[in-house]
Structure 1
């Protein structure tokens, strides 16, 4: 075992061990092994190597020795090293180290970073380096008295002993070998198309949620996602990290061990990976730095189900992800009787959910996300996903359209990328990907049992990841991950504020087939496919002080050129023919965080185009009648306000009202002319 110290003599120690199945190679030319001239014996040996990671900064590649028998893999590796050292085209073939706890790969060089104490003279620094047979490669500018130094070629693993000796020298402040760490925690697996634009099987997939862009702002630090499901493999590489797992629970057995138990107990591990896999192996969650609260729970209506929500709320969960619910009908069979069967929300579950919504997050409430269902049926049949305070998530596919199985209806709040099925009678285009790449129950007992040709088709060959996860089960924890990013950017948001923020952080997809209504809602996609970057940007903006604002501007009537809004109200005179023709609305005081969008409905003509921030919407034809209008707030702060409005029509006492994008009056081809308008902007509590 080898040690490295960061932070000086009393700093943090990282323990490294030799990886018996890895070898690091640098060719003389910098080319890959397949492109250099090798002897027959070395070429045969190279056939048993699989490249696993490249380090361009060190001009080396790490290869894995493909040998099924663990007992002989080290012997084979050493044989390969001996053969390669005789090859003129290979500069060196060395051993590889990995973190003893996490397995993260390190490549060592024969170089050092050394910082002497500020008061030590340059001459003394040089003398100490020379005494330890180190040559100065570079005097560094970012810290006083710091050097990049080289050991003689061939020093090898003795660099660690040299560093341990130097750190004890009184004049030395910091010293450690140059170690190049594998940066997998920053990377995405090539199959994770739902997080970043990528290319799979020759197809460019651009239907992601902009997660990598959002990570430049936050990766979910300080937030906790509770995944209530079946067993979760907390020993998996992506979760078995210091501080990653918090308050694990099995509410069936009332223990703190949520691990999978029976055969097929695999669903929770995959869901947890979509939400918050750490990204140190082959999968990143949407919020890779968020903590995971794994809760193994029971069936619908059970006490174990209810206790799971209370446990999450009482133990610090910020977001609760639920990828389960009542039985779905057969998505491909329109005559399945389950499509017409209502499943109510049990009182025990409802009260437990209400408890979490009210008491979680120190009174701000846990945000609860639910999978809409996979039955190609109305989501309102499901008392869980359709419960009003919950965020119901639909599934969209790798072509930016609805996944054919995904449930639909008014309760759908947003969509997240997932897999799809091939049904040429409904959609002639085949899915471009096998599904969502995520964590799998380790070894052979998960969805992917592991095999030599598994990589990129059904998962990895070790059986620790699956490429075929999907359904709204996968979409739900994806949105939970986005919410964790949102709360990391602004932890003060309430449940209702988060819901409204998500509403304003979606991309409208499939605009031709989505059937979006006047309020921007689609039965298939909710308010659209969630955009993680937009959501985080909106959350950061709302963390700033929120001012009081008002809607100002003018209203135009047929018998008056314009009337200035006063105290939120425009009123024409009592003349029976004085009617509204147009609006010019703006927010005062002006702010980059809040704007207004509006349009009017003209009798026999329909809607005008949307205008915003002071532009005229309506008609200049005094013969026309305005019979309805709608107003929507825009911008990063929009989710923190609500706009309410009402209107009276000529000759009638009835008042029409609307709010937040709803139509006031009528959007049809006929109706009574509007003569009075009232608008009010309220800050949400």
Structure 2
């Protein structure tokens, strides 16, 4: 027995018992929580009014969180624990929880659902899984498609601890690779308005003029000579609501498979007194060409409107992407993200997006786009913050947009009508490409403050035209008419690219996700902005040796060039002529916490270009989640095969192929000849391991 009384008691996961309820496992990371002192949530067993519940707990009802049917209550801080105790002992309450915030995430509230995701070691059988679940009071909910031996469980009334504590205790079991609670956070739209009105769709085509730089449009008119889109290609726009009575959404076969996740029906219409962000986004991508109003970029394509609940959790993300897969979406446009500074995705959220990118479109994959955001901050990086209202963000701050950096997503930033960086546009190495939008002050919505501007303030003028698009009918929208001319933000840039992706699939429906992404990137216009950013003084408007800019990705989307490239690729179908296999059996120790890592080579002597690729890896390691694994082609192009998501697993014996890891398509159609390298990097201290062997299989065409 350990008799050191100065050492805090720890769970088997290594987390002190005193911290078990204040650390969440998330995307391979541990995030620190802080309790909100005056709020808690409950889910009632029966149809009891919120007024009656409030009287029972001596609190005031604040709102409903629809994703998990939670009711939010506010009490005096001194009464919180008593109210929580009353709620948990009440026969009318099925679930009660504190409300939290993630430390360093600016006061945005985190709500706890009653679900837990557990990834078990592949050697753990169903009997042992059932035993573990019963021990913790968990009830099997469903298997997670795309994640082997991974399941979602519901926390039953027999559970003696909350989902956060349970997941941390589970994390210490040798049978468990990873465990995560389902948390709920506000959704934030990436709309950024700006006066004055400009009643023209300059972003489609223009011949110059006031605040219009040459080539700042997307060259769509000539693309329309080839295709205006076909009804068999469906664009799913995921957003707050859609005015389906708008004339520009009318047409035979235009609207397919609508879904409303907020009202739990199939009519995703807006509330009467709230602007409809989704209506504006959808108009840019797919507004019907009918002789009135405007034309979307892909007017001939079908429209799948999916209304969100306004909150994001595992269930809601799965519902969005599984619906899109089931109902045949080709393109999924998402002009939103989490209302948080730092937001890694959960296991289930990552899997849902990957599932759509690999199983959608009958296995070719849905094209998924996410807006970069409007705070003028990195989508994955660190900035020293100062001067924000109420110091809501201060000091060395890590920024992460988990949706935008997902490897199967296309992250879209914004340029202006003057071919410059939009002042608000987020940026980084994960940006795929940019599209036209407005220009305005950067900022962000926080639950604690509402919308606030990023700091330091920008004193310079911010020229650039707004985006003209559909609006909610009548006075309830952004303007009093049926259209708005001052939509903007990366919210409007994202459906621009979604529309172009739909045109690409209209001329070549057999393209994979990676092929579409490559076409978009390789045909983009290399706009350049050599001026320093007016807020942070950064200069990221030029391109590196790989043709990438942190501000613009691989450039501004060009509809004509992209459609032509898709046509050409269809005409040049590739038939492999050779099959090459190589193996390296040299056992290499992986240095601990060393960014240099190890590299193991396989030489290919055959001439020709790669048409298919498969990599098999055999690694043992004490904690595989420390590792990143890359494949490096002979031309030194690198792709990430495995990120730090393997949890506590100790043996990795797996095969990566184009079908399961579309990122490998980036290495197709290049020379196979030369040294191929497997690069393994240990990114954290303490645990060590070995690369035992690896294999490379290539299909080659001349």
- TM-score, normalised to structure 2, is 0.49
Task: Flag the structure with larger Rg.
Answer: 1
| Greater relative contact order structure (CA < 8 Å, 6+ sep) | 2
